[in-house]
Structure 1
Amino acid sequence: MTSYPLRDPCEVMQLERLGALHQFRLSFMRSLIRRLMHEQWEIEPSTFQLDDSGYGTVIYRVKATNHVFSFVLFSNYLSDEDRNDRVIASQWDLTMALCIGDLDAQQVEQLRGNVPKQEAGRVDANTIVLSRANRSSRNFEYVVNELAAGRQPCSDILKDVGYLYRTTAVYGSGKFGMADWGKIRSEYPDFARPFAAEMFTCYMLRHFSVEQAEHLAKVRSPKTAVSMNTDVRRYIGIGNATGLGMAPYLIRHPQLISQWITVRETAIARVLSEGQVTAEHLQTLGILANKARQHYLETTVPDESQTQRNHTLVDELAAMQRWLEQHTQITGWDKLTAHAKQHWHIETQELIHSLLMELYPDLVDELEDSMCAEECPDTTPQMPLGDLKQLIEARYAWALDVDFEEPDALYLFWYRSEEKMEPRIGERFSEEGADREMPLLTIARSVRQCYDLLCKDLQQHPNDDVVHFLMREPEMKGIIARVQTMGQECYGDIQANLADRETLPIQLLRCKLSFFGVSKFDPKSKFWVRNTMFQGAPLLTQIGEPFFDDWIFPLAPE
């Protein structure tokens, strides 16, 4: 990638800013849809066996550009009392798998015996993704009944819940015996971008959810049932519930996250450096801003703080439009972003970046193949200790600024629950379990401990290298490897003490979900959030038709 003036990591890697990111052109859902539409993948059901209750087996044959895949769904009865979105659930309305190649009868039976069990089942390296989903209790039956009666679902109802199914987990990258990421990236280029296969699974679930609803409507009332019209069908997305299980990913994969952030920041820098401001661009930006404002007005969530943030976005986007009307002669977008940084909320600043990227696909879209990273943290044993000290001071000043003598700085601890088998947060001074703390999520404190030991060691061994220090302090190997590795990255660790009492884990979730490309954040606590995927995206039936990559900020159909 050509060098551009990128924003300072001290600004970009603040947890508050990462938690204010929005979907953008290079989000994984957007990249996936562009690939499907431009390459014209052929996707057809090879098996569609649903009974009058909507239960059964459906297999879609996916002929991508380079390989053939099979998307398999199993629909089973689930009582309302057994419907649970938590990872501890053992039954679901739908379970599904994305597999390599066409499937014979024996393979289908093998999947039928294991996919519905999810983590308790057994799959092999012929499987790429394993997932499950539950029906929306508010929407599914309503939509089926409306279609059966010959009516389209009411937009006002769909605004509140714009999906028929909600995923509760989407597993990939080698879990439970599936094909690992190295195999996918090297042998199956159709899904060789981060989370492409997982996003495709959600996209196919969205398609099936409408087909199943239409099937049930026709069963219930063959004479009056209608199909869902195109505008409503596009407005139907897929729900997602995301909790603390996603948060550690951003800490465990710092090189990959650094690459994602670098690519996003490069796209922003390209727009600010090379994006010519024309009357057409100003007009398009105004259209996008109006669409975004309406989108957030239509986003209704119970959480008062999120509602207020949405209202702030609506008001400040209007302020942006007024500012542009007064500055029609600007020659670059840097004046707009500088004004935003000075006057508007951090979420508005980052939303403006997302809007600006939409104006210049020629500058942005080619970066979508740069999202991968080879992760190989390692120590540099020959580095002089003085150089390591300077590196910590330069790149981890944020960690050295934390006063770990303050109880609030150590208030939280992260652990893995044996009962729930997922990450949890405990309060150190009122709950048991701190002795099982996950050290990987205490980067700030580990850096501080390493730095203090290093300073003392330098007084006695000023000319030693890292290898000598590690012989004396071997427990520091992990954090030194991280510091040395991330010291070579443009954007390093998230600059936050995640053990602090005021930490909002939901900001970690928001960051990762923005790269997925989700919309309509609906926080249920500071630990988990619901959101919507693929709402407004083109349909499978529209592959081969003229494609307009304009489905960001979907609006309810009239």
Structure 2
Amino acid sequence: MNGAWGTRHSFARTMLRRAASHQWRVTKSRLELDELGRGTAVYTIDAEGYSLKFIAFCQALEESERTDRVIANAWDVTAALIEGVLSPEREAELRRNVTVQEQGRTDPETIIMTRANRSARFFDYVSDCLAAGIQPDVAKIGPSPYLIRSTAFYGNGKFGLKELATLPAGHPLSVPYRSQMLAAWLLRELSMDLVEHVAKAKARAAGTDAVPLNAQWGKYFGLGNATGLGMVPFLVNHPGYLDAWCKLRELPLAVGLAASYAPENPDLGRVVELLDRADRHLAEKSELKTVPFLSTDSIRPQLRQLLRELQTFMASGGKAAPVLARLHELAADLSPEARGLFASIVIELRNDFDQEADALLTVAAPPAFDPAMRCGELRALLEQNYGWTRSYDFAAPEHSLYYWYTSADSEEPRRAQRTQKAAGTVEHCTDVARRINTLTADLAAFPDGASVAEFLLAHPDDRFAAERIQQTKDYRYGDVQDNLVDAQFLPLSTQRFQLATYGMNNFSPQSTDWVRVTLFSGAPRVAEVMSGTDDDDWLFPLAPEGEK
């Protein structure tokens, strides 16, 4: 998890691949904005016979009014992805509710609700450049290219939004997270329309001619984002999703590593190309704050070592061999980052897993808890799947230093030291290893033939652990095999894995608990997807070259 990179099966990539292959059409229906970019924007999406609209309500806040926290009460942009007719009455209702986000409620044909703020560093700078007739300077933008940063993509029944399960089979958004990715992509498109509109207004006032972002910059700018501790309990609470997301990586990777390649195989040339591009991508990110992850300057020599090994094999003229498996083992010895990056390259070679990847994301609800199960069967499942928990000695205070809870002030998950836990605080069940170890000790006194119900009557606090063992029995990757309450646990690791699965890059930790990222950097814009010119090749995006 510490070294995860996006892959061709990350949600952003799969959404755009579906849009391109099924020829989705996006029309800018309305852009009613004043000279500061305040007003309303509407995009219409024709996706495989379904009509969707993305409506955004825009304002221009003072920088002092901007915050990316959940508890914010104003944003530069609030928006919704909707299905059905956008009548004046419905638009007025959306305006009342979407603009206040968590304080509002939507109709059941509204699919996604989101919000974003302008970048204080980049938005005005880019609009000034375009107003002066020039493109931005790569050095001024730095390693995290975005114009606005999003802070949430709400969906699936929250605040009255449409539930995913109500979308019919075959609906283009019936795959989990696809609607969030579509909303994010259109929000990114809006950011560039917005900055170009403001630039034109500035140019008119100055008597100059504004220029639009060129094609290179249009692809390079992504959507900013930041995330904190709230993602960690999600993975713990949804073992089926964790299992599916790991399989998105491990299944195509296993097939790719099992193959033997002759030195002249063109796939190896593709690996060389991607290793070289990854090296150039990392060189451009040298200023990115990455601690406690490995710095980009530290990863680059490791990539060049992999490249030399591969080129030596390609020049050998020898027999076919599992060369990618050998390189993957070498990468794993070098660093988690090198291993994760090389795994993404191996996965990139295969385009025959795309449909299976989509199917994996639809996760069935876990089986109902079975209190009639015999203690012997529960014990056997525990031994089979949770032997890893024995490595933790919870008698040592440092292994139970933290507890997880929901902060009443921030309305977000947090962790704090257990010694500071206030009476009545509800603790999240993120301490899976600790609870399993407690159950193991308690279960030792019960005969195999006793029922789990009888056991829980004597040990009711073991209910979560017993249910967890049953719930995950069919999963290969159902648990983060770590102690989440340990003094040494690094939340950033699970956050990075989840964000990479979404398709984000430019991981820049700001503490041990939260990280800044970019989504859709390098991705095609609307015009490229509609024209069919997108080649779905934007792993390791590169910055524009000079001012064009």
Give the TM-score category using the shorter length: over 0.9
Q: Which amino acid aligns with 2:233?
A: P
Match of 1:153 among 104, 122, 136: 136
Q: Which moved more, 1:365-374 or 1:482-491?
A: 365-374
Say which of 329, 336, 359 aligns to 1:338: 329
In 2, the alpha carbon distance for the partners of 1:309 and 1:145 equals: 32
> Does structure 1 residue 481 correspond to structure 2 residue 467?
yes
Partners of 1:187 and 1:350 lie apart in 2 by 33
2:220 counterpart (235, 239, 246): 235
Give the corresponding residue for 1:110. Answer: 93
* 1:207 shift after superposition: 0.5
Aligned counterpart in structure 2 of residue 441 of structure 1, from 425, 430, 437:
430
CA contact (8 A) 1:158 1:556 kept: no
Aligned to 2:481: 495
Q: Is the 8 A contact 2:260 2:321 kept in 1?
A: no
Equivalent in the alignment of 1:13: none
Which structure shows the higher helix fraction?
Answer: 1
Rounded Cα–Cα distance in structure 1 between residues aligned with 2:415 and 2:371: 35
Return closer, same or farther for 1:384/1:130 CA change in 2, 3 Å cut-off: same
Asked whether the equivalents of residues 159 and 556 of structure 1 are also in contact (C-alpha less than 8 Å), the reply is no
- The verdict on how the C-alpha distance between 1:490 and 1:160 changes in structure 2, with shifts beyond 3 A counting, is closer
Tell me, in whole angstroms, the C-alpha distance in 2 between the residues paired with 1:537 and 1:478. Answer: 42
Distance 1:438 1:360 in 2: 43
Q: How many angstroms does 1:435 deviate by? A: 4.8
98-107 or 328-337: which moved more? 328-337
The equivalent of 1:215 in structure 2 is: 197
Equivalent residue, structure 2, for 1:523:
509
Residue among 160, 163, 166 paired with 1:180: 163
Distance change in 2, residues 1:161/1:490 (3 Å): closer
Q: What are structure 1's unaligned runs of at least 5 residues?
A: 1-17
1:202 aligns with 2:188: no
Which stretch of the first structure deviates more once superposed, 26-35 or 36-45? 36-45
CA contact (8 A) 1:270 1:363 kept: no
- Cα distance change, pair 297–434 in 1 and its aligned pair in 2 (3 A): farther
Shift of 1:391: 1.7
Shift of 1:290: 0.9
Task: Specify the alignment match of 1:324 in structure 2.
Answer: 310
Indicate the residue corresponding to 1:256 in structure 2. Answer: 241
1:396 and 2:386 are equivalent in the alignment: yes
Offset at residue 365 of structure 1 (A): 5.8
SS in 2 for 1:128: strand
The alpha-carbon distance between structure 1 residues 307 and 390, as it changes in their structure 2 partners (threshold 3 A), is closer
1:245 to 230, 237, 247: 230
Give secondary structure in 2 for the equivalent of 1:391: helix
Provide the identity percentage.
33
**Secondary structure, counterpart of 1:74 in structure 2:** strand
Q: 2:498 aligned to 512, 516, 521, which one?
A: 512
Contact 1:301 1:522 in 2 (8 A): no
Q: 1:509-552 deviations in whole A, cap 9, x for unaligned? A: 11110110101001100111000000111110112233311111
Aligned residue among 78, 103, 116 for 1:133: 116
Asked if 1 retains the 8 angstrom alpha-carbon contact of 2:2 and 2:336, the reply is no
Shift of 1:160: 3.1
Report the alpha carbon displacement of residue 325 of structure 1 after superposing the two structures with TM: 1.9
Is the partner of 1:160 in helix, strand or coil? Answer: coil
Q: Report the residue type matching 1:389 in the other structure.
A: R
What residue is the counterpart of 1:352 in the other structure?
A: 342
Instruction: Report what 1:12 is aligned to.
Output: none
2:275 paired residue among 286, 289, 294: 289
**CA offset at residue 24 of structure 1?**
0.5
Q: Are the structure 2 counterparts of residues 146 and 173 from structure 1 closer, same or farther at C-alpha, using a change threshold of 3 Å? A: same
> 2: CA distance between counterparts of 1:410 and 1:305?
25
Counterparts in 2 of 1:435 and 1:404: CA distance versus 1, 3 Å: farther
1:267 pairs with 2:267: no
Report the CA distance between 1:47 and its aligned residue: 1.9
1:404-442 deviations in whole A, cap 9, x for unaligned?
A: 10000110111111111110110112x233752423211
User: Residue by residue, what CA displacement relative to the aligned partner does 1:330-383 show, whole Å, maximum 9, x if unpaired?
Assistant: 522222223333x31122112111001111223556433322211224333343
Using the alignment, how far apart are the partners of 1:102 and 1:264 within structure 2? 39
2-side partners of 1:49 and 1:275: how far apart? 57
Aligned to 1:10: none
Which residues in structure 2 correspond to 1:57-76 (within 5 Å)? 57-76=40-59
Shift of 1:141: 0.5
Q: Does 1:413 align with 2:403?
A: yes
Asked if the contact 2:42/2:55 (under 8 Å) is kept, the reply is yes
Structure 2, unpaired ranges of 5+: none
Distance 1:85 1:531 in 2: 13
1:361 to 351, 356, 379: 351
Partner SS for 2:142: helix
Distance in 1, matches of 2:290 and 2:92, equals 48
Q: Distance between the aligned counterparts of 2:485 and 2:84, measured in 1?
A: 46
Structure 1: distance between partners of 2:24 and 2:107: 25
Matched, 1:556 2:538: no
Which amino acid in 1 is paired with 2:194?
Answer: Q
Alpha-carbon distance in 1 for matches of 2:29, 2:49: 19
Partner of 1:29: 12
Contact preservation (8 Å) 1:234, 1:538:
yes
Q: CA 1:448–1:78 in structure 2 vs 1: closer, same or farther (change >3 Å)?
A: same
- Sort the Cα spacing of 1:526 and 1:249 in 2 relative to 1 into closer, same or farther, 3 A: same
Residues 271 and 363 of structure 1 are in contact (CA less than 8 Å); yes or no, is this contact kept in structure 2?
A: no
Cα shift readout 1:6-62 (whole Å, capped 9, x = no counterpart): xxxxxxxxxxxx232110010000001101111111111222110111100011111
Task: Check the 8 A contact 1:54/1:216 in 2, yes or no.
Answer: yes
| Aligned residues of 2:106 and 2:160 also touching (Cα < 8 A) | yes
| Equivalent residue number for residue 224 of structure 1 | 209
Distance 2:21 2:64 in 1: 44
Contact 1:256 1:375 in 2 (8 A): no
Q: Aligned Cα RMSD in Å?
A: 1.8
Distance 1:306 1:145 in 2: 36
Q: Aligned AA for 1:208?
A: L
Cα 1:20–1:114 change in 2 (3 A) is: same
Q: State the shift of 1:168 in Å.
A: 1.2
Pick the aligned partner of 1:95 from 33, 58, 78.
Answer: 78
Provide TM-score, normalisation by structure 2: 0.94
Matches of 2:339 and 2:43, distance apart in 1: 41
Give the Cα separation in 2 of the matches to 1:480 and 1:307. Answer: 35
